Copies of this chain bind each other. A is one copy, B any other.
Amino acid sequence: MNLGKVVGTVVSTRKEPVLDGIRFLLVRLVDTDGKETPSFVVAADAMGAGPGEMVLTAAGSSARQTTMTDKKPVDNVIMAIVDTWEVNGETKYTK
């Protein structure tokens, strides 16, 4: 999984019909200190994530293993909202 921060929303009205009702969020990947990197993905939001929240995203066929994304053309999903993480015993982020 990737660790990222929700920074925006992508809106699309013309899309595959099965995608109706799915919210697409812009998630900027962060490093282990929580600093934003230039990399980002657009992920389906299975969690109701809000702007600024740190999340975990799953890619590829694993992105379709939620009720919301099952059998849909979606290759990235937010499957968890992060409370906290630590590296070498040091807390790097707390919600």
Contact = CB atoms under 8 A, between A and B. Distances in A.
Interface string A67-95: 00001111111011111111111001000
Specify how many copies of this chain sit in the oligomer: 5
A14 to B, nearest CB: 4
Contacts of A58: 73-75
Contact of A82 (B10, B18, B84): B10
Nearest to A72: B65
Interface of A: 1-3, 7-16, 18-19, 24, 26, 28, 31-32, 38, 40-43, 46-47, 51, 56, 58-66, 71-77, 79-89, 92
Given A1-B76, A15-B47, A28-B32, 16 more contacts: A1-B43, A2-B41, A8-B92, A10-B82, A12-B82, A12-B83, A13-B83, A14-B81, A16-B46, A16-B79, A59-B60, A60-B61, A60-B62, A63-B73, A64-B65, A65-B71
